[in-house]
Chains A and B, each alone.
Chain A
Amino acid sequence: MTGDNAETERQPQTQPQTDDVGSTLDAVRRAASEVLGYLSDHPERLRVSVANVSLDLDWRASEAPLRAFPDDGAGQTSIAGQASVAGQAVSRQAVLSGPAAPGQAGEAPSESPPDQPGEERLPVLHYVCAPSVGTFYRSPEPGAAPFTAEGATVTAGQQVAIVEAMKLMLPVEADRPGRVVEVLIEDGQAVEYGERLLALTPVGSE
């Protein structure tokens, strides 16, 4: 989705075309999700700005994760100028904040009214990840009802799936409360350690 630079630069920055904004944000969101997938600890705040794309992650000093990607002990990681989205001269910021600080989601400076199409706010997502390499199961046994489903609310510590490794059934538990936005893995599919299984959003933030 690389845009034509010459053309996009002619577009007034305050009135970006809705499609461009939408697709750009979509690409940015995918890139951001990918980066989040690499992290062992979720940041307190993740900020994406689109023109000359930059992606900033912040961790609270008190709980600074020492296993951040790619720099151990880094408080901030920036990945700038990704070609896939850099072509869009859209001046807009989206803030994807960790559920620990949902209030910061409102920080995105808007140059157009929030309800305008294209002013899509990235959902606040938290991922429940695989505790082991193995096979992912949504229900306790074949034919049984799944532990949880899209739209359902889960509590911290609630079992949401199973990962089976060497005939050992490892319960997958939600590590924080939330609403299941998406189950990302098909029942019975192989997963690697740390692979994202379910996307959660904090209850009440939708």
Chain B
Amino acid sequence: MFDKVLIANRGEIALRVVRACHEMGIRSVVVHSVRDRDSTPVRLCDEPVQIGPPQPKKSYLNAAAVLEAAIRTGANAIHPGYGFLSENPDFADACEAAQIVFVGPSASTMARLGSKLSARALMAKAGLPLLPGSLGVMDDGGALELAKQIGFPVIVKASAGGGGRGMRVVDGPDGFADAYRETQATARRLFGDGRVYLEKYLQTARHVEIQVLCDGHGNAIHLGPRDCSVQRRHQKLVEESPAPGLSDELLADMGKAARQGALLAGYRGAGTFEFLVGPDEKYYFMEVNCRIQVEHPVTEMVTGVDIVQEQLRIAAGEQLQLEQGDVQPRGVAIECRINAEDPDRDFAPTPGAISEFVPPAGPFVRVDTHVEPGYRVPPDYDSLLAKLIVWAPDRERAIARMRRALNEFRISGDNISTTRRFLLDVIDHPRFRTASHSTSLIDEMRRTGQPAAEQAHGEPAHGGADSD
């Protein structure tokens, strides 16, 4: 096992990895920007190194500075967390050249799966079902013909896209060519790669993903599904495991497919296969995420597997100790993302100072957060403040526990709005409660002016207090 691991990230995920390291007796180095020098992960790690100014490009995305810090601190491995350098094959290459282990798949696997076009082609070969769409680069004329063939609406996606950016739904042939070219231009600007592809757009679909662990010695297991259908702007807000309301047979099939795809891709480490599931219970491969995901805790809660520790063991060259039969998920886990965002202003981020921060506790409640009272939400990074995760033997009780925990959560501060209240509305929405929701739930709620959860259940007197 490694003596020392450098964590090239910030916020709650940096803290999550620091904790995994400390539980495993590994020394932790956290690289940080000037902005984060007083943050919790920096304080709790063994060795912080300031690598740059607040701008991510000059700090967390600065591969040379991260590697320099790794070399001078004598770190054996770099855990990239999510975002930033986590899915950058060039960085993984540079780590290898510097003889530092990159915690993740090999650079070539990452490159192949990172391009959604080549990932689609590879997974088609592995026998995974794909949505009808393009398998190669097309001009706008050819793409329009294809769109007519497969039927509108379609979605145009950047091959190098991610994080919900660089995609566009087109409802009909009118304006298709413009939308196609605009997405190409956006892709070029955002990702430096103008290639886009086309897929049939499912209006009522569930987003279901499978967590896999592969050790690079030929062993691969999956840790079951996560349902991440509650999204705004293609970004997840609520996640749960298992995926509710879907047949065991379907979920078992998807698990098998993900394992098969991972083995064919020569995957190593923890990864996620994302699928869309249509109303007819047909599933389609979307993409592979070559990193730890924000929502990994729900899988940890139902399986009892510490995914970050598994990542470190695999990166250190160990064989998986778990076999597929050992994975026996129990109960239901739900995660809500508490973001510093204003749901009433289209989830616009609200950077500012947090004066009160009292996370909930109690049985089967887990809060992954780097925030404490006095924390300033920086304008430079994403708006995630805390992940609130609960577990219960069944979904109804998990929702009740989540409602209780969200009500307990107290966050306030100047100019700070959070998603807390909105999340209460989501988990009490009849569609969510009956697991008949789809990825369009939030849009629906916003269109219909969903009645506030308070009206249905009453806000307890001691309830949380967002400043809004």
Q: State whether these chains interact.
A: yes
What is the 8 Å Cβ interface bit string for chain B, positions 53-69, against chain A (1 contact, 0 not)? 11000010000110111
Q: Does B376 contact A (CB under 8 A)?
A: yes
Question: Can you name the residue of chain B whose Cβ is closest to the Cβ of A130?
Answer: B50
How many angstroms between the C-alpha atoms of A40 and B31 in the bound complex? 18
Question: In the complex, which residues 261-297 of chain B have their Cβ closer than 8 Å to any Cβ of chain A?
Answer: none
Q: Which of B38, B65, B376 contacts A193 (CB 8 A)?
A: B65
Nearest CB of chain A from residue B122's CB, rounded to whole Å = 33
With A133-B52, A190-B72 known as contacts, the answer to whether A168 contacts B64 (CB < 8 A) is yes
Q: Does A65 contact B (CB under 8 A)?
A: no
Question: Can you name the residue of chain A whose Cβ is closest to the Cβ of B62?
Answer: A132
What is the 8 Å Cβ interface bit string for chain A, positions 115-155, against chain B (1 contact, 0 not)? 00000000000000000111100000000000000000000
Q: Which of A166, A190, A194, A195 contacts B64 (CB 8 A)?
A: A166
Q: Are B376 and A192 in contact (CB under 8 A)?
A: no
How many angstroms between the C-alpha atoms of A64 and B376 in the bound complex? 19
Nearest CB of chain A from residue B416's CB, rounded to whole Å = 14
With A40-B34, A72-B376 known as contacts, the answer to whether A193 contacts B50 (CB < 8 A) is yes
Q: Are B54 and A133 in contact (CB under 8 A)?
A: no
Nearest CB of chain A from residue B424's CB, rounded to whole Å = 31
| Complex interface: chain A residues within 8 A of B51 (CB) | 132-133, 192-193
Q: Does B49 contact A (CB under 8 A)?
A: yes
Q: Does A30 contact B (CB under 8 A)?
A: no
Q: Are B53 and A166 in contact (CB under 8 A)?
A: no
Q: Are A165 and B68 in contact (CB under 8 A)?
A: yes
Nearest CB of chain B from residue A66's CB, rounded to whole Å = 10
Question: In the complex, which residues 35-86 of chain B have their Cβ closer than 8 Å to any Cβ of chain A?
Answer: 38, 49-54, 59, 64-65, 67-69, 72
How many angstroms between the C-alpha atoms of A110 and B272 in the bound complex? 69
| Complex interface: chain B residues within 8 A of A133 (CB) | 31, 49-52, 65, 68-69, 72
Nearest CB of chain B from residue A162's CB, rounded to whole Å = 14
How many angstroms between the C-alpha atoms of A134 and B59 in the bound complex? 13
* Majority secondary structure of chain A interface residues (helix, strand, loop or mixed): loop
Nearest CB of chain A from residue B31's CB, rounded to whole Å = 8
How many angstroms between the C-alpha atoms of A78 and B157 in the bound complex? 51
Q: Are A132 and B68 in contact (CB under 8 A)?
A: yes
Nearest CB of chain B from residue A56's CB, rounded to whole Å = 21
Q: Are B53 and A134 in contact (CB under 8 A)?
A: no
Q: Which of B38, B52, B67, B376 contacts A166 (CB 8 A)?
A: B67
Question: In the complex, which residues 410-449 of chain B have their Cβ closer than 8 Å to any Cβ of chain A?
Answer: none
* Majority secondary structure of chain B interface residues (helix, strand, loop or mixed): mixed
What is the 8 Å Cβ interface bit string for chain A, positions 169-206, against chain B (1 contact, 0 not)? 00000000000000000000010111100000000000
| Complex interface: chain A residues within 8 A of B53 (CB) | 40, 193-194
| Complex interface: chain A residues within 8 A of B67 (CB) | 166
| Complex interface: chain B residues within 8 A of A168 (CB) | 64
Q: Are B72 and A132 in contact (CB under 8 A)?
A: no
Question: In the complex, which residues 15-41 of chain B have their Cβ closer than 8 Å to any Cβ of chain A?
Answer: 31, 34, 38
Question: Can you name the residue of chain A whose Cβ is closest to the Cβ of B73?
Answer: A190
Nearest CB of chain A from residue B5's CB, rounded to whole Å = 17
Nearest CB of chain A from residue B381's CB, rounded to whole Å = 14
With A190-B72, A194-B34 known as contacts, the answer to whether A67 contacts B64 (CB < 8 A) is no
How many angstroms between the C-alpha atoms of A125 and B448 in the bound complex? 62
How many angstroms between the C-alpha atoms of A189 and B266 in the bound complex? 42
Nearest CB of chain B from residue A12's CB, rounded to whole Å = 40
Question: Can you name the residue of chain A whose Cβ is closest to the Cβ of B50?
Answer: A192
Question: Can you name the residue of chain B whose Cβ is closest to the Cβ of A38?
Answer: B37
Q: Are B68 and A166 in contact (CB under 8 A)?
A: yes
Q: Are A193 and B64 in contact (CB under 8 A)?
A: no
With A166-B64, A168-B64 known as contacts, the answer to whether A193 contacts B72 (CB < 8 A) is no
| Complex interface: chain B residues within 8 A of A70 (CB) | 38, 376
Query: Which residues on A are within 8 Å of B, measured CB to CB?
Result: 40, 67, 70, 72, 132-135, 165-166, 168, 190, 192-195
Query: Which residues on B are within 8 Å of A, measured CB to CB?
Result: 31, 34, 38, 49-54, 59, 64-65, 67-69, 72, 376
A-B contact pairs, 8 of them (CB 8 A): A70-B38, A70-B376, A132-B65, A133-B72, A166-B64, A193-B51, A194-B50, A195-B50
20 additional contacts, CB 8 Å, given A132-B64, A132-B68, A165-B65?
Answer: A40-B53, A70-B376, A132-B52, A132-B65, A133-B31, A133-B49, A133-B52, A133-B65, A133-B68, A134-B68, A165-B68, A166-B64, A168-B64, A190-B72, A192-B49, A192-B50, A193-B50, A193-B65, A194-B53, A195-B50
